[in-house]
Amino acid sequence: MYYRIGERIEEFEPTTFENIDFQYIAVISSEEWINSNRKFDMGIEWDINTDDITDTRAEVNIDSLTGTFSVPSRKDISGHNHNFAFALDEKGVVFIDDEGFASRIIDKIAKTKKYINPCLERFLYDFLESIIHRDYKIIEQYDKRLDEIEQEILSGGAADPVRELSDIRSELRDLKMHYAQLLDLSQEFEENENEFFLDDNVRYFHLVSQRVQTLHDMTSSLADYTSQIRDLNQTQIDLKQNRIMTILTVVTSIFMPLTLITGWYGMNFVHMPELASPVAYPIVIGVCVLIFVGCLIFFKVKKWL
């Protein structure tokens, strides 16, 4: 697919790329790139395999700027990434995409955007924005879910949030890495080392850098929040265990003197004066009750119960 950057992004059928008087966008497969990359006259020999792409980055060449995108699916952050490559110069940009992700973004831009001052820089700005445009809402959903988990932990209603917290932390870490790489790429564009972009239009990349930096900071903050919630959960578990141990200690302390008494009178000595007294048994029962009540009162005063 080939597009002309004008007031609108429109498809066109090129005959040659040598002397066109407008900037263009091309979306081709990796096989097409290998077979026909010379027609774009970018002065590079680059055998790209989209299956080998692992990150988002940009690399400055003598006559072009090349790089790759590895974009996490917003439906499954830790799942399959959308991988594609690009090469650009002052005349236009070529996306090498075998799965159609870049084409879908370009089609959306073509349907929704109208340019007063059409240029490659403004298109790249919209392209990068399209990658992150829903991320504020996604991060807000993470924040809301973490708040819910925290309240469940404090109320004692959380079953075992450790697994869910680990999944959220893993996804936030993936997003954080993605934003760090996007930030490097947008800053590489902003640096404009090959002077492919007009100085007045470099500001578009600065805007993208600021927004990606904000998203990066937000995910970092949420990742820290996740760790705090995990610590809170462990603290609540420790408190429960401490309460259980306190109850067991109290019960043991109460029944220790009672056990001593029952053990004492279970020895069946013949010469025990109180064995012959008719009131000895009721007295022993009364003493045991007094010990039990006295221990309860003591532990209540000490706030152990």
pLDDT tens profile 145-156: 999 888 888 887
* pLDDT on residue 271: 67
pLDDT at 108: 92
The helix (H) or strand (E) run that includes residue 2 is strand 2-5
Indicate if 246-301 has the same CATH topology as 1-132: no
Judged on CB neighbours under 10 Å (0-12, 13-18, 19+), 74 is middle
Task: Specify the pLDDT at position 304.
Answer: 65
**If pLDDT is split at 50, 70 and 90, which confidence band does 164 have?**
confident
Q: Which residues contact 44 (CB under 8 A, 6 or more apart)?
A: 37, 61, 63, 64, 66, 87
Helix (H) or strand (E) holding 89: strand 76-89
Q: How many helices (H) and strands (E) does the chain have?
A: 7, 7
Question: Would you place residue 158 in the very low, low, confident or very high pLDDT band (cuts 50, 70, 90)?
Answer: low
176 has a pLDDT exceeding 90: yes
Number of Cβ within a 10 Å radius of residue 129? 16
Third-level CATH fold of 1-132? Beta Polymerase; domain 2 (3.30.460)
Q: What does the pLDDT look like over 203-247, one tens digit per residue?
A: 999 999 999 999 999 999 999 999 888 888 888 777 787 777 877
Query: What token pair was written down for 285?
Result: 């029962």
Do 219 and 172 form a contact (C-beta atoms < 8 A)? yes
- Residue 297 CB partners (closer than 8 Å, separation 6+): none
pLDDT greater than 90 at residue 161: no
Per CATH, the number for 246-301 is 1.20.58
Rounded Cα distance between 2 and 39, Å, is 13
Report the distance separating Cα 163 and Cα 230, nearest Å: 10
Parse the chain into domains and list their residue ranges.
1-132, 246-301
Residue 206 to residue 221: CA distance in whole angstroms: 23
Cα(56)–Cα(131) distance, rounded to whole angstroms? Answer: 12
Q: How confident is the model at residue 305 (pLDDT cuts 50, 70, 90)?
A: low
pLDDT at 133 over 80: yes
**Tokens encoding 157:** 């209603």
Looking at the DSSP assignment, which residues form a beta bridge with residue 85?
A: 68, 96
Paired with 3 in beta bridges are 11, 25
pLDDT recorded at residue 249: 78
Mean pLDDT for 24-45 is: 82
**From edge to edge, which strands make up the β-sheet containing 92-96?**
9-11, 2-5, 24-28, 92-96, 76-89, 65-73, 57-60
Q: Are 5 and 119 in contact (CB under 8 A)?
A: yes
